[in-house]
């Protein structure tokens, strides 16, 4: 595997890779579990980017409504600075904050997955 280009524009091509989306969803579950949060994907989920996004967005919306401290800690763990959230929310005013945050989480987790796969294959 060649070193992945992790720019946001290049990430779009990885969104159609079912295996990468599934690995991304598992990484999201793992990071949420560190904070006692559970992400439950629907049974029979196809692991399309949109399906995982939709499931995640519901959880993020709920967290934004009831526990902003926990979500900020979660985002710190995932490595998404609060300043980036405000920046993206300002750029995408027409979208709900839960959409913006969910998208940022998925992109960051996908970057983690791609980086991990790159270094795993590098050692083979």
Cα separations in angstroms, 58 against 64, 67, 79, 108, 120: 10, 14, 21, 18, 32
Vertex 121: Cα angle to 50 and 116 (nearest 5): 45
Q: Whole-angstrom Cα distance, residue 78 to residue 28?
A: 9
**pLDDT, average across residues 103-114:** 96
Q: What is the pLDDT of residue 103?
A: 96
Structure-block tokens of residue 28:
């999201």
* pTM attached to this predicted model: 0.90
User: Which candidate, 12, 33, 14, 13, places its Cα nearest to that of 22?
Assistant: 14
Say what the pLDDT of residue 101 is: 97
Please tell me the predicted confidence (pLDDT) of residue 118. 86
Per-residue pLDDT tens for 29-77? 999 999 888 888 777 778 899 999 999 999 999 999 998 888 999 999 9
């Amino acid at each position: 595997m060649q070193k992945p280009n992790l720019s946001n524009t290049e990430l779009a091509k990885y969104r159609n890779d079912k295996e990468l989306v599934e690995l991304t969803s598992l990484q999201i579950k793992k990071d949420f579990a560190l904070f006692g949060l559970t992400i439950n994907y629907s049974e029979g989920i196809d692991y399309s980017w949109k399906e995982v996004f939709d499931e995640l967005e519901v959880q993020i919306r709920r967290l934004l409504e009831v526990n902003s401290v926990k979500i900020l800690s979660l985002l710190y763990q995932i490595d998404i600075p609060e300043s980036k959230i405000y920046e993206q929310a300002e750029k995408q005013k027409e979208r709900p904050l839960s959409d913006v945050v969910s998208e940022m989480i998925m992109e960051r987790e996908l970057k983690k997955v791609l980086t991990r796969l790159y270094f795993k294959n590098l050692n083979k």
